[in-house]
Chains A and B, each alone.
Chain A
Amino acid sequence: MSQSLLSIDQVSKRFTRKPGLAERLAGRLSGGGEPVVVHALTDVTLEVARGEVLGVVGESGCGKSTLGRVVAGIHAPSDGTVMLDGKPITRDQRGTAEKLTTQVQMIHQDPFASLNPRMKVGETIAEGPRYHKIIPANVVSERVGSLLEQVGLEAAYADRLPHQFSGGQRQRIAIARALAMEPELLVLDEAVASLDVSIQAQVLNLFMDLQRNLGLTALFISHDLSVVRHVCDRVAIMYLGRLVELAPAKDLYERPLHPYTSALFASVPTVGTGKRVFEAIQGEIPSPINPPPGCAFHPRCPQAGPRCRREVPRLAQADDQRTVACHLNDGGVA
């Protein structure tokens, strides 16, 4: 893919931290007590084409936000490289904001926490572009007004404070602030998760309109499978820090190949199917501190075989458009 804007190549991210209370208690039994290593991302490789919206899906703790932060330059990867437009991402090494890339902008779940409550929203939107001299000083306020209109608000709202807006409006403001930086890539981390259903549709429509009109490229992180299907071109499914399936949205939803993907789809309730039985995935999500050997999904996988317990499945091409990390698809589980 020569036209890919974002290339993530064999990226791993490990966090080392002091053991928590639960781990210390568990550690006392086994005699340990050293710092614990969290394998938040392991060997993730993927590319995002210019103008593409890539969905990132998976359960809590599987590394979605970490992936987003590595791409935005907030975390340095422990291994591997992240390239934007063929150049390595500039990252925030010692909290130096000047070094942090402006080409990737992140939008978070809780728009209230990310907006300064004492700053007029117009100031909030103008702050970044002014600091980085992205917009000439004499046209900043004009640009702020047009950005507000672009996200469906009034230019006059620039003088208001965040608490004067509803949750959906605040998320529009967060989007306007990100767009003001004229980013190459947007990372939306659960951007509609905290919104009421009736408001969620408004923000999704806005995102789809902007994406088409401006040709935005985006990493769309969400645990909501139906939202992802609606707005994404391709979808990456993650499990315990690894990419397990990557496919065009349509193919993935019609015919999931990885057993975890199928199980995930089967356990999601849907409106109006009259489905009364939940085909729940058995067992718990394992800890990223001590991931199971071999395929991390094997303790919960109905199709697991002996090979799954000893060998990590590699991400292999399943057809020309999709890749899957499962032995079933790569020589069998025996």
Chain B
Amino acid sequence: MSAALDVSGLTTRFDTRSGSVTAVDNVSFSVEPGRILGLVGESGSGKSVTGFSIMGLVDEPGQVVAGSVTVDGVDLRSLSDDDMRKMRGSRLAMVFQDPMMTLNPVLRIGDQMAMAVRVHRKMPKREALEESRKALDIVGIPSPAERLKAYPHQLSGGMRQRVAIAMALLHRPSVIIADEPTTALDVSIQGQILAEVRRLADDIGTAIVWVTHDLAVVSSLADDICVMYAGRIVERGTAEQVIGNPRHPYTQGLLDSIPARHEPGGHLPQIPGSTPQLSRLPSGCPFRPRCSRATEQCKSEPPSDSRDGQIVLCHHPLEGS
């Protein structure tokens, strides 16, 4: 099957007064229809900037400086601003951690959804409201017809996030980029949304990029996983490969440090040091100061992708089993 989303060599730089940082560095992945790709990494690793770069929403002082993004075979970086705007919302949509980035606080849910429908498709408001009601139904909102009359603040956080997802779905986009959409929600509400999202991919065939720092969430939700560190994808493979048989020392370290994988009360294996600042990366491999497998080679040359099944950005990957 051909990919709904294909990202290749994507590189985004921020040129600030204090210097230039490469927040997204040569990132490549693709997502087929109906599949969910989990993009995991710790704070500052470049997940959100990757999402914004795909959407063409990177603002000054940032700039996409290299790479390509194609959606359904259309090269987004060759589009005019106008065509890109049409693409967003119709074939490519984004869901944010804070649903109020999408929702207008002073408009009723129905009015703003109908408006969004009619931006891309000419139809009477009544029909647009019916489309909106269907979208609310798809994301599991009870009594959707009544919710259309509500203002955003009359809904709970979980409901608001569902409405934001429903808005992203209005035009049956091929690709949805979801940036930490359940991070601020309670586990019981998160569970409901994850179940609905899985159903969306399976039933409607939407390709989804799920951005999160939570390994447990991607491990249960995603088909494929990309692990990011300091702007780079350091490991990429199916969820089974990456979780079951991590090859990059950083992925392995992350998985090892999860309490659920150890006897209660025992010492937890920890990754030494702290997450790096992009403006002060070491030479060679950015993970080197924290890596127990580092050698002289890791200091002098940055690792490049080694591919055998899963992709690992490391000079000395762990053995596959």
Q: Write out the residue numbers on chain A whose beta carbons fall within 8 Å of the beta carbon of B258.
A: 197, 226, 271
Binds A, one of B70-78, B117-125, B209-217: B209-217
In the assembled complex, B143 has its CB within 8 A of some CB on chain A: no
In the assembled complex, B191 has its CB within 8 A of some CB on chain A: yes
Q: In the complex, how many angstroms separate the beta carbon of A192 from the nearest chain B beta carbon? A: 10
- Ranked 9 nearest A-B pairs via Cβ: A267-B191, A230-B259, A280-B191, A226-B260, A201-B257, A269-B220, A196-B42, A198-B271, A281-B188
A280, B264: Cβ atoms under 8 Å? no
Q: Write out the residue numbers on chain A whose beta carbons fall within 8 Å of the beta carbon of B195.
A: 277-278, 280
Q: In the complex, how many angstroms separate the beta carbon of B296 from the nearest chain A beta carbon? A: 24
Contact among A199, A274, A275, A280 with B274 in the assembled complex (CB-CB below 8 Å) = A199
Beta-carbon contacts under 8 Å, A149-168 to B: 166-168
Interface size class of A (residues with CB under 8 A): 35 or more
Q: Per-residue CB proximity of B258-277 to A under 8 Å, as 1/0?
A: 11111011111111001100
Name the prevailing secondary structure of the A interface residues.
helix
Q: Write out the residue numbers on chain A whose beta carbons fall within 8 Å of the beta carbon of B154.
A: 22, 25-26
Beta-carbon contacts under 8 Å, A258-311 to B: 263-264, 266-282, 284-285
A268, B275: Cβ atoms under 8 Å? no
Residue of chain A at shortest CB distance from B152: A22
Q: Write out the residue numbers on chain B whose beta carbons fall within 8 Å of the beta carbon of A198.
A: 42, 253-254, 257, 270-271, 275
Beyond known contacts A205-B267, A267-B192, A269-B216: 15 more, CB 8 A cutoff: A25-B151, A205-B270, A223-B187, A229-B259, A230-B260, A230-B268, A250-B264, A264-B187, A269-B190, A271-B215, A271-B216, A276-B220, A277-B195, A279-B191, A285-B186
Q: Write out the residue numbers on chain A whose beta carbons fall within 8 Å of the beta carbon of B269.
A: 201
Q: Per-residue CB proximity of B237-270 to A under 8 Å, as 1/0?
A: 0001001100000000111011111101111111
In the assembled complex, B158 has its CB within 8 A of some CB on chain A: yes
How far does the alpha carbon of A278 sit from the alpha carbon of B187 in the complex, in Å? 11
In the assembled complex, B92 has its CB within 8 A of some CB on chain A: no
Given contacts A60-B186, A197-B213, A223-B187, contact A269 B259 (CB under 8 A): no
How far does the alpha carbon of A201 sit from the alpha carbon of B253 in the complex, in Å? 11
Q: Write out the residue numbers on chain B whose beta carbons fall within 8 Å of the beta carbon of A269.
A: 190-191, 194, 214, 216-217, 219-221
Given contacts A263-B188, A278-B191, contact A231 B265 (CB under 8 A): yes
Q: Write out the residue numbers on chain B whose beta carbons fall within 8 Å of the beta carbon of A200.
A: 257
B265, A208: Cβ atoms under 8 Å? yes
B189, A197: Cβ atoms under 8 Å? no
In the assembled complex, A139 has its CB within 8 A of some CB on chain B: no
In the assembled complex, A202 has its CB within 8 A of some CB on chain B: yes
B243, A223: Cβ atoms under 8 Å? no
A-B contact pairs, 29 of them (CB 8 A): A60-B186, A169-B274, A197-B215, A197-B254, A198-B257, A198-B275, A201-B268, A202-B270, A205-B268, A205-B270, A208-B265, A225-B187, A229-B260, A230-B262, A230-B266, A267-B190, A269-B194, A269-B221, A270-B220, A271-B219, A271-B258, A272-B219, A273-B220, A276-B220, A278-B191, A280-B192, A281-B191, A284-B156, A285-B189
Q: Per-residue CB proximity of A11-37 to B under 8 Å, as 1/0?
A: 000000000011001100000000000
In the assembled complex, B293 has its CB within 8 A of some CB on chain A: no
How far does the alpha carbon of A250 sit from the alpha carbon of B257 in the complex, in Å? 20
In the assembled complex, B159 has its CB within 8 A of some CB on chain A: yes
How far does the alpha carbon of A284 sit from the alpha carbon of B194 in the complex, in Å? 15
Q: Write out the residue numbers on chain B whose beta carbons fall within 8 Å of the beta carbon of A59.
A: 186-188
Residue with the greatest number of chain A CB neighbours at <10 A, chosen from B188, B190, B265, B269: B188
